[in-house]
């Protein structure tokens, strides 16, 4: 069992939990994810790691309720425990493998939308701990749905925008990117965008015009996190990839977002899942799926 040390609601339908999981905390890196189960009958839920403390042996997760399983999770309190807490899974962010001195020569821009703020935070924090500053744009529908503002401001140069203008400024994250690049003359070597699929699509369309290499996380399309369900199958360039096994981060300029979003809608129904499986045959699921293959 994995005890919950802290549980709080950050915003409407958005919750944060700190979980005691020493082995995961010891081995995880920014960009990776975990799979949690509330009990033996519970659904497997993949969640990107929001933060970790190696000394305390804890992992912080943030999730948004979207169905019965996450609604059940939201009712857990400090003192309760998860039946399973598997990880770290997936591949870490590419920059953690690079030489720190080379990284210090680069200008990073992070773009977070909604709950995507959670997986952006550990990446910016990691850079900060290694002496590298980054600009961070955080967007939310309104002030009440803005999360981790204080934490993000402590590790990056924060720019906040809200769709309705209820806090700081009104507009989309793409408006802020344009302002930073076109009005303030900022230049970036790398952009990382994490949030709803539609947000990442339009960020990538803009950064492609601006010639800014862009990485996105496809964690939002993962379902069981093993590569066996076929939900996170995506076309990257001319290759078929699976977010949970091959990612979750990919070159955003190579992703067919329209096809991925259409697939998401089809996967929601039993008929749609059956049709996808029939159409895709052996390529419907990852050939080397199974979370055991990439647990560190």
**Across the chain, which distance is largest between two alpha carbons, in Å?**
54
C-beta separation of 6 from 82 below 8 A? no
| pTM for this predicted structure | 0.86
Structure-block tokens of residue 174: 């793409």
pLDDT at position 154 is 95
Domains in the chain, CATH or no CATH each? 2-89 (2.40.30.10), 94-216 (3.40.50.80), 218-282 (no CATH)
The per-residue b/e assignment along 261-279, b for 16 or more CB within 10 angstroms, e otherwise, is eebbeebeeeeebeebeee
Residue 157 three-state SS: strand
Structure tokens at 144: 């009440």
Q: What is the mean pLDDT of residues 248-262?
A: 87
> CA-CA distance, 255 to 214, in Å (whole number)?
11
Q: Which of 16-30, 186-200, 228-242, 272-286 has the lowest mean pLDDT?
A: 272-286
Q: What is the mean pLDDT of the chain?
A: 86
pLDDT over 70 percentage in the chain: 85
Length of the chain, please?
296
> How many CA atoms lie within 13 Å of 231's alpha carbon, on the beta-carbon side?
20
- What is the per-residue pLDDT across 177-229, written as a single tens digit (0 to 9) for each? 999 999 999 999 999 999 999 999 999 999 999 999 999 998 877 766 666 66
Question: What is the tens place of the pLDDT at every residue in 137-190?
Answer: 999 999 999 999 999 999 999 999 999 999 889 999 999 999 999 999 999 999
């Amino acid at each position: 069992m994995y005890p919950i040390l802290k549980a709080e609601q950050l915003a409407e339908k958005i919750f944060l939990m700190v979980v005691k999981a020493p082995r995961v905390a010891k081995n995880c890196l920014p960009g990776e994810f975990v799979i949690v189960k509330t009990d033996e009958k519970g659904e497997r839920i993949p969640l990107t790691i929001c933060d970790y403390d190696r000394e305390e042996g804890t992992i912080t997760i943030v999730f948004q309720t979207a169905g019965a399983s996450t609604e059940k999770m939201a009712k857990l309190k400090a003192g309760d425990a998860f039946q399973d807490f598997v990880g770290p899974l997936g591949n870490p962010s590419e920059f953690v493998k690079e030489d720190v001195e080379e990284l210090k020569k680069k200008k990073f821009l992070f773009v977070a939308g909604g709950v995507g703020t959670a997986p952006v935070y550990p990446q910016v924090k990691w850079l900060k701990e290694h002496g590298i500053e980054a600009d961070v744009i955080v967007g939310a529908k309104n002030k009440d749905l803005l999360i981790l503002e204080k934490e993000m401001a402590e590790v990056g140069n924060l720019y906040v925008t809200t769709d309705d203008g209820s806090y700081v400024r009104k507009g989309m994250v793409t408006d802020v990117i344009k302002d930073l690049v076109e009005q303030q003359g900022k230049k970036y070597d790398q952009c990382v965008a994490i949030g709803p699929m539609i947000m990442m699509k339009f960020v990538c369309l803009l950064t492609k015009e601006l010639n800014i290499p862009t990485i996105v996380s496809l964690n939002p399309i993962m379902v069981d996190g093993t590569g066996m369900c076929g939900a996170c199958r995506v076309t990257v360039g001319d290759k078929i990839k699976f977010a949970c096994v091959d990612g979750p981060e990919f070159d955003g300029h190579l992703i067919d977002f329209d096809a991925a979003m259409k697939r998401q809608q089809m996967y929601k129904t039993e008929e749609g899942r059956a049709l996808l499986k029939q159409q895709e045959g052996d390529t419907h699921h990852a050939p080397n799926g199974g979370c055991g293959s990439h647990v560190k």
